Amino acid sequence: MKNFSITGIYTDLYQLTMAQVYFLTGKSHLHCCFDYFFRKLPFEGGYAVFAGLENVIDLLQELHFSKDDIDYLKDIGLKREFADSLEHFRFRGTIYAVKEGEIVFPNEPILRVEGNILEAQIIETMLLNILNFQSLIATKAARMKSVAGTKTLIDFGLRRAQGTGGYHATRAAIIGGFDSTSNVKAACDFGIPCVGTMAHSFVQSYDQELSAFRDFAANRPEHCVLLVDTYDTLRSGIPNAITVAGEMKARGHRLQGIRLDSGDLSYLSKHARKMLDDAGLHDVKITVSNQLDEWVIKSLQDQHAPIDIFGVGTSLVTAPPDAALDGVYKLAYADGKPRIKLSENLKKITLPDKKQIYRTYLKDEHHFDADVICLQDEKAPSVMHHPFEPDKSLSLTGRKQEPLLHLVMQNGKRGNTPIPLKDIARYTQKRLRMLPEEHKRFHYPHTYKVGISEQLRHERDELKRLHKP
Ligand SMILES: Nc1ncnc2c1ncn2[C@@H]1O[C@H](COP(=O)(O)OP(=O)(O)OP(=O)(O)O)[C@@H](O)[C@H]1O
Ligand SMILES: O=P(O)(O)OC[C@H]1O[C@H](OP(=O)(O)OP(=O)(O)O)[C@H](O)[C@@H]1O
Ligand SMILES: O=C(O)c1cccnc1
């Protein structure tokens, strides 16, 4: 897998300023652990899809500071002694994480970085930047996939994305369930099927729509999808497409499809299907696009629109109404001791120490309905407590449980062979099938239970007492 060329300065200045203090005060080797977790599910949904892990591992393996980076850091005021030491910086930490593509929930320590405080601090911004964005987009994509079912989803988002974010958005879309992309660079780098139709400008540049279709078909007869809504979809676009399909057939080719990009997509697709079928073109596929999102796709499905392919841009890559996943990176352990961050807001008090997450299955053992966070070395807990409401608990006795955190990087080296994107995407769909339906509905999904073990609760409450003035 390839990545943008990213070096150690892909971070916030304060990470380096703190690292400088650790370096100059001889604390660089302090061992610590940071947890990555988020607090709020996006889209008022019932789950999130964890994405970006493989990119993080790849980047951490390569992470270094170039000579130019070091000169720049000196220019902006970092001390020469510290800046020069970065020439030898390499990430040598250890990472535990849930599998990429896993279904995850608020407050779960989805990923843990263990290392010296200098390296663990410097990587925070890059790690959050990648995981928050890709997890957000993978979750949005999964919502679209959940309503598109077996129909094809294409990412058309690059032009609408927040700058180069469109690159990783494509990767995340595939994890969430998209099939292909129009984004050539992402397709090339990540091994994703690369597809495309035609733009209105192509049709407009000809005096006749039919001539445009003919030239396009002649030039790419194996992959020809004609955009039929430039002038009049039913009276011009589709009849012209049918004419060209006939001509292609006579030359031993097949028109792959048509694309509708405006108007009532249900009404037009029904008429288009009938016109194509009446012409014997049963295998010509109908693609639609135009400001689609999960709600429009669901509505079109409910209207039984005979659409084969949905092309989605803006809503996929910008993920409205949530511009970001609120994932954070918090210190949980340092210098041999568990650490806590207190807050007036109970929900913002962090969970101390090195932890594990156990996923708990229903009796059928094919569906999961609760996760419990515990201390790393605990066996699967038999009871879980509500993290903030002391009276609420749930017995887990006799239930199948599965640890979610796995070693993915040890002392700076990848712990496994890279996982192909296709396999990650397959894993996401498999896990989504194991999540009960009530957590997947769009309106007021049932809240998935995430609790803490007795021992973790005890440790957290002791630390709270210790630090409360
Ligand atoms: N049958 C349908 N059911 C639900 N939503 C639809 C349907 N048809 C189209 N839409 C969606 O409605 C939104 C607006 O469509 P609208 O017809 O106003 O725009 P338009 O066709 O692009 O207009 P214009 O002709 O100016 O290009 C789009 O998000 C589109 O995907
Ligand atoms: O609506 P979105 O979900 O963002 O999907 C991407 C849109 O981008 C293209 O339109 P654009 O007007 O940019 O170019 P075109 O002339 O090819 O239609 C395409 O036709 C879609 O409508
Ligand atoms: O290939 C297409 O049809 C396409 C590509 C990008 C954006 N909209 C459409």
Whether 58 and 156 share a structural domain: no
Among 317, 350, 369, the domain boundary falls at 317
Ligand 2 mutation target, pool 154, 155, 159, 228, most atoms within 8 A of CB: 159
Confidence of residue 469 (pLDDT cuts 50, 70, 90): confident
Cα distance from N-terminal residue to C-terminal residue, the chain? 50
CB count, 10 Å around CB of 280?
12
Whether 461 and 384 have beta carbons less than 8 Å apart is answered as no
Nearest to 405 by CA among 189, 203, 112: 112
51 CA distance to ligand 1 middle (Å): 31
Whether 76 and 11 have beta carbons less than 8 Å apart is answered as no
160 CA distance to ligand 1 middle (Å): 18
In the predicted model, what is the mean pLDDT of residues 432-448?
98
Which two three-digit tokens encode residue 403?
């640890």
1 CA distance to ligand 2 middle (Å): 29
In a domain, 3, yes or no: no
Give pLDDT, residue 346: 82
Give CA–CA dist 146/56, Å, rounded: 27
**Ligand 3 binding pocket includes 156 (Cβ within 6 Å):** yes
In the predicted model, what is the mean pLDDT of residues 152-168?
96
Residue 52 scores a pLDDT above 90: yes
- In the chain, the amino acid numbered 238 is I
Burial class, 418, CB count within 10 angstroms (exposed 0-12 / middle 13-18 / buried 19+)? exposed
**Ligand 3 binding pocket includes 52 (Cβ within 6 Å):** no
Residue 247 scores a pLDDT above 60: yes
Confidence of residue 9 (pLDDT cuts 50, 70, 90): very high
In a domain, 188, yes or no: yes
Give pLDDT, residue 2: 44
In the predicted model, what is the mean pLDDT of residues 74-83?
98
In a domain, 119, yes or no: yes
Closest ligand to residue 289's CA: 2
257 CA distance to ligand 2 middle (Å): 17
Residue 468 scores a pLDDT above 50: yes
Q: What is the CATH number of the domain that holds 263?
A: 3.20.20.70
Burial class, 328, CB count within 10 angstroms (exposed 0-12 / middle 13-18 / buried 19+)? middle
In a domain, 19, yes or no: yes
Whether 180 and 80 share a structural domain: no
Residue 344 scores a pLDDT above 90: no
Whether 339 and 258 share a structural domain: no
In the predicted model, what is the mean pLDDT of residues 274-290?
98
**Nearest protein CA to atom 14 of ligand 2, as residue:** 199
Nearest to 265 by CA among 284, 243, 239, 293: 293
Q: Which domain holds residue 213?
A: 138-317
Among 262, 291, 317, the domain boundary falls at 317
Whether 396 and 383 have beta carbons less than 8 Å apart is answered as yes
In a domain, 7, yes or no: no
In a domain, 63, yes or no: yes
Closest ligand to residue 225's CA: 3
Whether 460 and 339 share a structural domain: yes
**Nearest protein CA to atom 1 of ligand 3, as residue:** 196
Whether 439 and 104 have beta carbons less than 8 Å apart is answered as no
Whether 278 and 267 have beta carbons less than 8 Å apart is answered as no
**Nearest protein CA to atom 3 of ligand 3, as residue:** 197
Whether 213 and 290 share a structural domain: yes
Nearest to 88 by CA among 119, 117, 114: 119
In a domain, 6, yes or no: no
Q: Which one is predicted more confidently, 7 or 246?
A: 246
Confidence of residue 5 (pLDDT cuts 50, 70, 90): low
Q: What is the CATH number of the domain that holds 409?
A: 3.20.140.10
Ligand 1 mutation target, pool 264, 298, 309, most atoms within 8 A of CB: 264
**Ligand 1 binding pocket includes 263 (Cβ within 6 Å):** yes
**Ligand 3 binding pocket includes 257 (Cβ within 6 Å):** no
* ipTM surpasses cut 0.85: yes
Number of domains in the chain: 2
In a domain, 1, yes or no: no
Whether 229 and 148 share a structural domain: yes
Give pLDDT, residue 1: 44
Nearest to 189 by CA among 5, 50, 64: 5
Whether 367 and 442 share a structural domain: yes
Whether 187 and 269 share a structural domain: yes
Whether 131 and 148 share a structural domain: no
Whether 84 and 144 share a structural domain: no
Which two three-digit tokens encode residue 142?
């999964």
CA triplet 232, 235, 236: central angle to 5 degrees?
A: 65
Give CA–CA dist 88/223, Å, rounded: 50
Q: Which one is predicted more confidently, 176 or 364?
A: 176
pTM tops 0.80: yes
Among 317, 337, 367, the domain boundary falls at 317
Query: What is the 8-class DSSP label of residue 296?
Result: H
Whether 147 and 280 share a structural domain: yes
Whether 63 and 28 share a structural domain: yes
